[in-house]
Amino acid sequence: MAPSIDTPLFVRGLSKSYRIGHVFQRRRPALEGLDLEVLRGEILGYVGPNGSGKTTTLKLLVGLLRSDRGEGWILGEPLAARGWRYRVGYLPEHPYLYDYLTPAEYLDYAGRLFGFSAARRRARARELLALVGLERSAGLPMRRFSKGMVQRAGLAQALLNDPELLILDEPMSGLDPIGRRLVRDLIAAQRKAGKTVLFSTHILSDAETLCDRVAVLRAGRLVKVGPLSELLQLDVAHVEVLASGIAASAPGLEAADRAEQVGDRLRLEVAEGRLGGVVAAVEAAGGRVLSVQPIRQSLEDYFYREMGTPSAGGTEAWGEG
Amino acid sequence: MIRLSRLIAVAANTFRETVRERVLYNLVFFAILMTLSGLLLGQLSIRQDEKILKDIGLASMDLFGTLIAVFIGTGLVSKEIERRSLYPLLAKPLGRGEFFLGKFAGLAFTLLVNLGVMTAGLYLTLVLTGRGADPVLLAAVYPLFLGFLLVVAFAMLFSTVSSSSALAAVFTVGVVVAGRFTDVIRNMRDVAPGVPPWAVDVLYSALPNFRNFDFKDRVAYGDAVPPDVLAWVTLYGVAYVAVVLAIGLASFRSRDFQ
């Protein structure tokens, strides 16, 4: 089945198992029958617990692993073809970029692999190092880089060929808040430029902030794919009221289902039908309503609801993988 | 299809890596060795010291070159796998064949530069100590280089099939040592009569004979090496390198990078 032009990444029945053991070898499935489509211009978050098969999937896509079964197309070409590699960028998890090179030298080397001219390599390196905030470290060997700086250099090499499709494995891993923000902005800018992004992450808030759709993987199987709004049910029956200058014991607040003091603020969970009464009670007691918003389930809530916590009996660990 | 420009890019980077990782520092030791030899041997008779100087120079070239070929060769691919530095590269339009052969070519160039500088150093020592530049020496240097290429090919083969660079180094050293003592294997029938003759024949034929690349003694005495012998050694070396590299490449191409 050939994919449509609006599906830069199309995978059917992709499976992979690893041999384990030395003398008595057996196979442990890492990915089973993955069907996945990434649509043009979207950011698809690939999330799941440790060992769920996220990195295996991305490695299968870029050819670092050979699949047992299944087929896939990238930008209309079969996975085994080389042509799409000119139009795709890939950032591995915890990248190691030769530490004896400067980032400018690394980008120059990578540019040669794409067949870029010397002038284009120089211009692109300058442009990308500025983009990832490394222009002042362009001449430093990467052995002197922090983990976050290496990650940013890794992102620069993934963007070198101005790719139509970006495949990023844990791009925010190891970054400080400023670095994470920078990477998040870069990914968002790719979408704005009409590019497609597939990225795996264990930081659920990043997936929530960035993704148009999320694919959830567990134990090598795809559990769910869809827009976040579908995955994260909006609990419109309840709203959250944030108030200041008032105590939970104030008259009229017993109508709230839940009252919680957060610093100098009071957080109230109120059924929609009783909202008017509670707001009036806050004002009558001399308090101030700071915000009123529907209670929305987070992606993390979804994970815990659908898959349980690690302590709830799952063998998988939450986090990277 | 292997594209030469990408292969050269990988080779150039491999050469740069060996230079920056200070692999060529062995040249400093060689320079010191040559200087000391030249000074100390001045006391001996002109025929004696010339032979000793050539012996020391050629043996040092052999030793340093083999050490580089084994220890850098085994790390060429395995280090890339262990550190995962090849992941972003192989996702680009770089074929596994281009990567593998590029790494080989890069180290081959390093060895060539290393050998070239040491050869120049030996000639310089001979000339400065009044002994004259003997072109026959080159007939021993060239086969040494072929031998190094074969060591690198074996090192790369073992680094693709074994799980660690240390294990690959052990295997490579084993082949190099066994290949330098193939006469012992051939005479095993006399030394260990219990070993089946067919096993001795198989072992003797399968192992590379590194003595084929060794003309050090011959040229140290000033004997020329006939061109047909050099042509045969070239054929032997190139064919052996091609077969070992082809096996290594097949293994590298089928490998999963977990």
CB A71 within 8 A of CB A31: no
- Cβ of A12 under 8 Å from any chain B Cβ? no
Domain A9-231 has CATH 3.40.50.300: yes
**Which residue from B92, B254, B256 is facing A110, i.e. has the nearest CB?**
B92
Answer whether B13 sits within 8 Å of A85, measured CB to CB. no
- Cβ of B135 under 8 Å from any chain A Cβ? no
Dihedral sign of CA atoms A141, A143, A149, A153 in order: positive
Looking at the complex, report in whole angstroms how far the Cα of residue A241 sits from the nearest Cα belonging to chain B: 48
Q: Which residues of B touch A65 (CB under 8 A)?
A: 256-258
Residue A316: per-residue pLDDT:
43
Comparing A18-32, A44-58, A213-227, A262-276, the range with the smallest average pLDDT is A18-32
Answer whether A109 sits within 8 Å of B13, measured CB to CB. yes
Residue A308: per-residue pLDDT:
63
- Name A215's Cβ contacts closer than 8 Å, sequence gap at least 6: A36, A44, A45, A46, A47, A222, A224, A225
Query: To which residue do tokens 């995955």 refer?
Result: A231
- Residue with the larger pLDDT of the pair A238 and B66: B66
Q: Name the β-bridge partners of A78.
A: A73
Boundaries of CATH 3.40.50.300 in chain A?
9-231
pLDDT by 10-residue block (mean), chain B, 258 residues? 92 94 80 77 68 88 92 91 94 96 97 93 88 89 97 95 87 94 80 80 86 92 91 96 97 92
Both structure tokens of B118: 């040491």
Q: Burial of A12 by CB count in 10 Å (0-12 exposed, 13-18 middle, 19+ buried)?
A: middle
User: What is the rounded distance in angstroms from the CA atom of residue A65 to the CA atom of residue B140?
Assistant: 45
If one counts every other C-beta atom within 10 angstroms of the C-beta of residue A212, the result is 15
Answer whether A94 sits within 8 Å of B84, measured CB to CB. yes
- Name A117's Cβ contacts closer than 8 Å, sequence gap at least 6: none
Comparing A112-121, A285-294, B24-33, B220-229, the range with the smallest average pLDDT is B24-33
- Cβ of B253 under 8 Å from any chain A Cβ? no
Answer whether B91 sits within 8 Å of A62, measured CB to CB. yes
Residue B46: per-residue pLDDT:
59
pLDDT over 70 percentage in chain A: 91
A297 pLDDT band, cuts 50/70/90, is low
CB A35 within 8 A of CB A307: no
Both structure tokens of A227: 């827009």
Please give the model's pTM, rounded to 2 decimal places: 0.85
Q: B170-220: per-residue pLDDT in tens? A: 999 999 999 998 888 878 777 777 788 888 888 888 889 999 999 999 998
Residue B194: per-residue pLDDT:
79
- Looking at the domain A235-296, which fold is it? Alpha-Beta Plaits (3.30.70)
Boundaries of CATH 3.30.70 in chain A?
235-296
Q: Kindly tell me if the per-residue pLDDT of A312 is higher than 70.
A: no
Answer whether B9 sits within 8 Å of A86, measured CB to CB. no
Residue A314: per-residue pLDDT:
38
Domain residue spans of chain B: 4-253
- Name B28's Cβ contacts closer than 8 Å, sequence gap at least 6: none
Q: A203-219: per-residue pLDDT in tens? A: 777 888 899 999 999 88
Parallel/antiparallel/unpaired status of strands A165-169 and A77-78: unpaired
Looking at the complex, report in whole angstroms how far the Cα of residue B80 sits from the nearest Cα belonging to chain A: 9
- Helix B165-180 to helix B138-161 angle (10° resolution) is 140
Q: What is the mean pLDDT of chain A?
A: 88
- Residue with the larger pLDDT of the pair A128 and A307: A128
- Residue with the larger pLDDT of the pair B224 and A91: A91
Q: Kindly tell me if the per-residue pLDDT of A74 is higher than 80.
A: yes
